[in-house]
Structure 1
Amino acid sequence: MIVTIRDVAKRAGVSIATVSRVLNKSKPVSDELKKRIMDAVEETGYLPNAVARSMIQKRTGLFGVIIPEIFNPYFSGLVEGIESVSKEFQYHLMLSVSEKDPEREKELLQIYRSRQMEGIILAAARLEEDQKEILARLGIPCVVIGQRVKGLKAPSVVINNWKAAFEATDYLIQLGHRRIGMIGGPFWDVASGQERYQGFRDALASRALPCREEWVSEGEGFLVEDGYKGMEILHSAPELPTAVFCACDRIAVGAIRYLEGQGLQVPEDVSVIGFDDEELASIIHPRLTTIRHSPFEMGRRAATLLTEMLHGNQSLQTAETLEHSLIVRESTIPLSS
């Protein structure tokens, strides 16, 4: 049997309006009366109607979060960071996975609007013009993770992918490597694809080194298998690079696995460097030199910006760039003469 607010009022010996005042915290009541009503709620097992309460209070207490994929540890760290802030401010998360499909992202944004999300956090691999238009029309505070958004009144939280890739590549050059390749993610991915590739190219150009087409592989994704296939392509070139920069750690792991299968040693034959410093980077053999940044901090900062917007700070319209660092481990060594 469904328990109603009428049952609670009857149990507590008060009016329905008094129960509503206590549950919605709309008007103060005595401690004795509040306790009597809350005891009745517990005894009857009454569950308040969340939709009705949100209409009365004019708030749902919900953040809508959209991430590209669920199996990537990077995004689980991101969500943990968002959750750490949402709990503090008593918000709850509605999480959806877009599978990197712009049409799905647009659909989810409309669903979140209809479900009356108070704010939205969007982690997108790319933002097309029609997506920006939808975001602009939503009328809901929004923070974008991973992309600098031009022409949209929404703050974003990013890392400097170009600079990080430049530093990773330049480190290989400092070790004496001159034949340097890259296994990237898909270049349609603006941040993790294009920006990291451009940083790689610019680092080579700054040292007057060539970016040889046969030493660059664009992957379909950011998986171990993409790294394996990419290293296979680089290995088919007439001359093998002595070092390879990979767009993420899982790509680097795939590259190492391929090299091992060919009887080549990392780092003795080929130095390999990754990006993200996922947990696997420190447990693979050899342990992976990589770029470290914090998805937890990125999620935490995005949620903080969103709560600031919801509490009246409407001037947050710029990209906030978080720190990164190069972590040197055993997968890279100086080029032997």
Structure 2
Amino acid sequence: MSYTIKDVAKLANVSIATVSRVLNGQSGFSKATEEKVLNAIKELGYQPNAFARSLISKKSNTVGILFPEVSSQFSSKILRGVEEASHHHGSSVIVCNTASHGQRTMKYLQLLTEKRVDGVLFVSEMITEEYYNTLESMQIPVVLVSTESYQYPLPFVKVDDKHAAFTATDYLVKMGHSKIGMLSGNKEDIIAGQPRIDGYKQALALRGHDITDKNIIHSQGFSFKDGFAGLPKLLEQSPDLTAVFAASDALALGAISSAYKLGVKIPDDLSIIGYDNLPIAEMAIPPLTTVAQPLEEMGMVAAEMLFTIMEQGKRVESRIMPHSVVERESVKKIIFT
């Protein structure tokens, strides 16, 4: 049998309003009354209806998070941090996989509206006018993760992509490389595409090395397939390269796999550095040297920012997170004699 809040009130001999106040942690009742209500709930095995409670408290104790690819290691590490912070604040997380598809994103935003979520975390995609208008209409806090908007005033948590790409390229230079190519993502992507290209070029320019378009392959995305297809094209255009900066670990791993097929030894014939420090990077053969984004910490920080807005009504400052080079075995040091 399914019991209702009326049954709890009747057994405890109190009003429905009193039961509601106890359930929602409000004041206006004695300790003895609270104990009677809790004992009645336990005796009946009453399970409060989450939606009904949200109507009373104006809170659903849920947050929504939108990923362009929910199954990736990138997303899973961010999600782990978000869930850790959300659990600490007594909230649950609704995960939405948008597949970088505008219609699906809008569908999920509508779903989150219907679920009356208390806030939204928006991961790794550009904020369009349509997305922003919908988020504004929801009248709830929004924090961006691994993306930012120059046009709309939304707080964000991310690494400085240009600086991180500079660091990766400069590391190769410091390891003695001067003929350095790049496997980039989509250059039309103003969040992670072009800034990483700019960082690569800036590092070469600072060290006085040549910058030429034939040393860059622009991919549609940052996937393993993009890296696998891109490396042969890059080496065909620039066969004298000694090192490659790949703008994601997935691109780098695709390039390593392609190099194996081509008979190119990593790092003896060609050094490769990635970007992200995904768990699979250390499982590669050879283990991948890469620029690390603190993805789990980014998820936790973004969630804490969201809860600060929701619970305290405070403005929060955007956060640029630190990056670092994780040295493994895919980059060879060139020693001049």
SS at match of 2:194: helix
- Determine the structure 2 residue equivalent to 1:183: 183
Counterparts of 1:52-201 in structure 2, within 5 Å, are 52-201=52-201
Distance in structure 1 (CA, Å) of the matches to 2:49 and 2:109: 24
For 1:187-226, list aligned pairs within 5 A. 187-226=187-226
Alignment-mate amino acid for residue 154 of structure 1: L
Change in Cα spacing, 1:53 to 1:221, as seen in structure 2 (3 Å) is same
1:49 and 2:54 are equivalent in the alignment:
no
Q: 239-248 vs 32-41, which deviates more?
A: 32-41
In the TM superposition, what whole-angstrom CA distance separates every residue of 1:37-59 from its partner, at most 9, and x where no partner exists? Answer: 32332332222122221111122
For residues 217-256 of structure 1, the aligned pairs below 5 Å read 217-237=217-237, 239-256=239-256
RMSD (Å), alpha carbons: 2.2
Q: Which amino acid letter does the alignment assign opposite residue 59 of structure 1?
A: K
CA distance, structure 1, for counterparts of residue 292 and residue 81 of structure 2: 16
**1:329 equivalent in alignment to 2:328:** yes
In structure 1, the partner of 2:319 is 320
SS of residue matched to 1:178: coil
CA distance in 2, matches of 1:230, 1:191: 21
Q: Which letter does structure 2 place at the counterpart of 1:23?
A: L
Q: Equivalents in 1 of 2:145, 2:27: separation in Å?
A: 39
* Matched-pair identity in %: 33
Question: In 2, are the aligned partners of 1:274 and 1:288 still within 8 Å (CA)?
Answer: yes
Aligned counterparts of 1:221 and 1:161: Cα–Cα separation in 2: 15
d(CA) in 2 for partners of 1:304, 1:130:
26
Q: Deviations over 1:57-83 (max 9, x none)?
A: 122222111111112111111111111
Query: How is 1:29-44 mapped onto 2 (pairs within 5 angstroms)?
Result: 29-44=29-44
Specify whether residues 24 and 167 from structure 1 end up closer, same or farther in structure 2 by C-alpha distance, changes over 3 A only. closer
In structure 2, what is the Cα distance between the partners aligned to 1:218 and 1:259?
18
Report if aligned partners of 2:183, 2:245 keep a CA contact under 8 Å in 1. yes
Secondary structure, counterpart of 1:298 in structure 2: helix
Comparing 205-214 with 320-329, greater Cα deviation is found at 205-214
Distance 1:122 1:184 in 2: 23
- 1:275 counterpart SS class: strand
**1:336 shift after superposition:** 5.7
Contact 2:273 2:290 in 1 (8 A): yes
Q: Is the 8 A contact 2:215 2:238 kept in 1?
A: no
Counterpart code for 1:332: V
Partner AA of 2:173 in structure 1: I
Supply the distance in 1 between the matched residues of 2:80 and 2:282 (Cα, whole angstroms). Answer: 21
How far 1:267 moved relative to its partner?
Answer: 0.7
SS at match of 1:148: coil
Superposition deviation, residue 13 in structure 1: 4.6
Tell me the alpha carbon deviations over residues 94-125 of structure 1, each in whole angstroms, 9 at most, x when there is no partner: 11111112332233233323332211111132
Deviates more, 1:31-40 or 1:151-160: 31-40
| C-alpha separation in 1, matches of 2:52 and 2:190 | 42
- One-letter amino acid of the counterpart of residue 322, structure 2: E
CA, structure 1 residues 28+86, in 2 after alignment: closer, same or farther (shift >3 Å)? Answer: same
8 Å CA contact 1:126–1:188 kept in 2: the answer is: no
Aligned-pair distance for 1:35? 3.1
Cα 1:27–1:178, aligned 2, differ >3 Å: closer, same or farther? closer
Which deviations, in whole Å up to 9, do the C-alpha atoms of 1:131-156 show, x marking residues without a partner? 33333443211111122322423211
- Counterpart CA distance in 2 for 1:23 and 1:307 is 21
Q: Give the C-alpha shift of residue 36 in structure 1.
A: 3.4
Q: 1:252 to 1:3 in 2, by over 3 A?
A: same
CA distance in 1, matches of 2:278, 2:294: 9
TM-score, normalised to structure 1, is 0.91
The question of whether the paired residues in 2 share the 8 Å contact of 1:125 and 1:189 is answered with: no
- 1:147 touches 1:190 (CA, 8 Å); kept in 2? no
The residue number in structure 2 matching 1:266 is: 266
